[in-house]
Amino acid sequence: MSLSLILTHPGGAHKDELLACSLLAAVHRVPIVRREPTAEDLADASIAVVDVGGEHAPACHNFDHHQFPADHEPICSLSLVLQHLGLYDDARAFCDWLEPAEWFDTRGPNTTAKWLGVSRESMAKLTSPIDVTILRRFAKAKRLEPGEPLWEILSYIGSDLLEYLRELRSRLDYISLHAKIWNLGDHEVLFLPRTDPLPDEPSSSIERYIESLGKDTTVAALIYPDRRGSGYGLSRHNDSPLYDFTRIEKEPDVHFAHARGFVAKTSAVGVERVKELLGLARV
């Protein structure tokens, strides 16, 4: 259902409702109003009520979390909007900032700092003037219309987050369909073969895919299509000491090997030759 309005609370602004409103603005491109909701607003499914209203009712586009009990898992209005859009699981898995944002909004800075294992002062040192200005300007606004500078900035934020999550999911699905994990005894290697067509950035999101498999500590090297050539790139994963690709720099089909040994490029297309080069690079 299309929205006619996004409504959130007045007063101080936080990243939680700002990002939730940004996502909804990017999807629906409607005004954002900052005031207390009425009963009529909560009953109108064409009005999204965000971070206020005491109700979580996605069918009515009401996304508040403040009515949840104190011992409820950390979840905020941004979380609820992401769930509504079907993006929450990927966001929690691949947006490293989301879980701390949930904790900060629901538990406060002191508890969040303790949970992260850092001092409260360390968290304050990470605050950016970008955060301060956008939140301050958002807090001062009563109504934001499409076309106005701040509304457009919020829409860009929402659009970029949506694009990141959707493109990442598409890339992860591609890698899952084509990648193979080679077990080499004491470690593993991820091999992504060349396909036709080839993605614009074949190696993009491989690290996230490995994380999703729980193999971040067992995979030592990556082999993936070279987007600038007809062969493959070979690189260390997590800077594994098991491989030094300067060891293959003199091979006739290797046209690049970084002086620090963490990556090389080959024109070889045969899997057996690629495996041979990998073996030669083993320390």
Place of tokens 């909804």: 24
- Per-residue confidence band for 227, with pLDDT thresholds at 50, 70 and 90: confident
Residue 190 phi, psi (nearest 5): -95, 130
Averaged confidence pLDDT in the chain: 96
pLDDT at 1 over 80: no
Are 222 and 211 in contact by the 8 Å Cβ rule? The answer is no
84: its two tokens: 């509504």
197: its two tokens: 């067509």
Instruction: Write 156-164 long-range contacts (CB < 8 A, 24+).
Output: 156/26, 157/19, 157/22, 157/26, 158/19, 158/21, 158/22, 158/23, 158/24, 158/25, 158/26, 158/27, 159/26, 161/19, 161/22, 161/23, 161/26, 161/91, 161/95, 162/23, 162/26, 162/27, 162/85, 162/87
Average pLDDT for 190-207: 90
Average pLDDT for 244-251: 98
| CA contacts within 13 A on the Cβ side of 129 | 0
**pLDDT at residue 254, as a whole number:** 97
d(CA 210, CA 212): 5
If you ran DSSP here, which 8-state letter would residue 58 be given?
Answer: G
pLDDT at 8 over 90: yes
**pLDDT at residue 213, as a whole number:** 94
Per the document, the length of the chain is 283
Q: At CA 113, angle to CA 104 and CA 162, rounded to 5?
A: 40
Residue partners of 44: CB distance under 8 A and separation at least 6: 60
